[in-house]
Structure 1
């Protein structure tokens, strides 16, 4: 089974190693999708949605929301943001019955990246 939880945050960035309009400072309303793969535990759940929301908020959303992402990630492409988020969450979300499966980072409603570690 795959458990899915979506989040949203607003942030600014610019791509310093890119030559085009995205090298200029700009912002996005990002959508972050966190997916866990696993089997239901003795309570019938892969992971408690309330606990997942709290962890992702503390580890990711609070850092990125209304931030300048270049202060966190040198070249904050969607790809690099996805790798960063995956690495921040993989150990803290690991349980006997589940693991972090993938993260999606969407810069716009039709442009995003999927990363599976």
Structure 2
């Protein structure tokens, strides 16, 4: 049976600030993110299975990514909890804003590392996360590949 990669794209709006950064992104701002999630596996060969011919049902992949990432990050503001932004985060939370505190600098690169771990934990054993692409702007994106994580 062939190995197939499938990709699903997700969109969400998230604010963040990069503490200690020497450019404009030190200020609180937001992006319209596009996240492409690619998984790899063998299509189900059992013709009695309702998901016959699928690597994974796109709907099942959507449930995983939505619950782990999109539903949490959409219209939230992400701050590194180990910076003075914690004070701003607390104030925003008092005003009923959605805030996510992470233990990393909330760059696209580090968000991908976080997203990869969250998604991998939820995938069925026979499906592997192949890659992630997080588009931050129309001209800028970061990519994560499973093959890059354990180079031979």
The TM-score bracket by the shorter chain reads over 0.9
Cα distance between partner residues in 1 of 2:111 and 2:101: 9
Pairing of 1:27-66 with structure 2 (within 5 A): 27-42=30-45, 43-66=52-75
Runs of 5+ unmatched residues, structure 1: none
- Confirm or deny that 1:112 pairs with 2:115: no
Structure number, greater radius of gyration: 2
What number of residue pairs does the alignment pair up?
A: 116
Q: Is the 8 A contact 1:17 1:75 kept in 2?
A: no
Deviation at 1:72, TM superposition (A): 3.1
Cα distance between partner residues in 2 of 1:113 and 1:13: 16
Q: Which has the higher contact order (CA 8 A, sep 6+)?
A: 1
Q: Deviations over 1:44-96 (max 9, x none)?
A: 01100011111111111111000011133341000011001000011211432
Cα distance between partner residues in 1 of 2:66 and 2:74: 10
TM-score normalised by structure 2 residue count: 0.72
Pairing of 1:6-45 with structure 2 (within 5 A): 6-42=9-45, 43-45=52-54
Q: Alpha carbon RMSD of aligned pairs, Å?
A: 1.2
Provide the residue aligned with 1:84 in structure 2.
114
- Confirm or deny that 1:69 pairs with 2:78: yes
Q: Deviations over 1:3-30 (max 9, x none)?
A: 0000000010011131101111100000
Q: What SS is found at the alignment partner of 2:31?
A: strand
